[in-house]
Amino acid sequence: MGSKVVKLVVTGPVNAGKTTLIRGLSDVPVVCTNEMATDVVSEVKEGTTVAMDHGICYPSEDLELHLYGTPGQRRFDFMWEILAVGANGVLFLVDGSDETSLEELKYIYNHFGERTTLGRLVAVTRQDVSGAVQSEDLAAMLGISSDDVFGLDARSCDHIKPLLLSRFSDTE
């Protein structure tokens, strides 16, 4: 069991892969609040997060990384504020193959940026889809260092634990 507790908010647009990532990373059973999508989201998938996802991973013996996934839909954005209370860092996810997702990420990134000085990292999913934006290009779009952006398939994410450890273990 880890000793230091770090709270990481996982946020980003609908269908970016937040719930999938937390399910893959967590070393304990995950609490999810996926409900049947009723609007345009139902065209891409069945379930959407309406409140939060929660999981814990242990990237090292000294660290408990508590993962709080937000809903992606703006109509549930009141949860973004609630879940960010006491956070140590924010991990943004975006579907790199979807123009709408990329536009929405800019909004969400700025939304959190205005409210926090916390460490931020951006993961761009769907690198397996042709034409998906690459991490360097996304960094340029957001006007941030390419060190803060990486490509990810949320369905196989175990390898990012060392990255999360190095980026978020020293946060206060």
Is 73 near Mg ion (CB under 5 A)? no
C-alpha distances (whole Å) from 54 to each of 10, 83, 124, 167 are 10, 10, 21, 20
| Binding-site member from 15, 49, 73, 125 for Mg ion (CB under 5 A) | 49
The CA distance from 47 to 33, in Å, is 9
Is 89 near ligand GTP (CB under 6 A)? no
For residue 155, the minimal CB distance to ligand GTP (Å) is: 5
Site string for ligand GTP, 92-131 (x = CB under 6 A): ---------------------------------xxxxx--
DSSP codes, 27-88:
SSPPB--EEE--SGGGGT-SEEESS-EEEEEEEETTEEEEEEEPPSSGGGTHHHHHHHTT-S
Compare residues 18 and 167 and give the one whose CB is closer to Mg ion. 18
The CA distance from 155 to 142, in Å, is 25
Compare residues 75 and 143 and give the one whose CB is closer to ligand GTP. 75
Residue 90 interaction partner, one of ligand GTP, Mg ion, none, beta carbon < 5-8 Å per kind? none
Token pair 């959407």 is at which residue?
Answer: 48
With 0-12 / 13-18 / 19 or more C-beta atoms within 10 angstroms meaning exposed / middle / buried, residue 114 is exposed
Instruction: Give the single-character DSSP code of 128.
Output: T
Site string for ligand GTP, 145-164 (x = CB under 6 A): --------xxx---------
Binding to ligand GTP in span 44-83, by CB under 6 A:
45, 48-49, 71-72
Is 19 near Mg ion (CB under 5 A)? yes
Is 167 near ligand GTP (CB under 6 A)? no
The CA distance from 24 to 121, in Å, is 18
Is 101 near Mg ion (CB under 5 A)? no
Interacting residues toward ligand GTP by CB under 6 A: 14-20, 41, 45, 48-49, 71-72, 125-129, 153-155
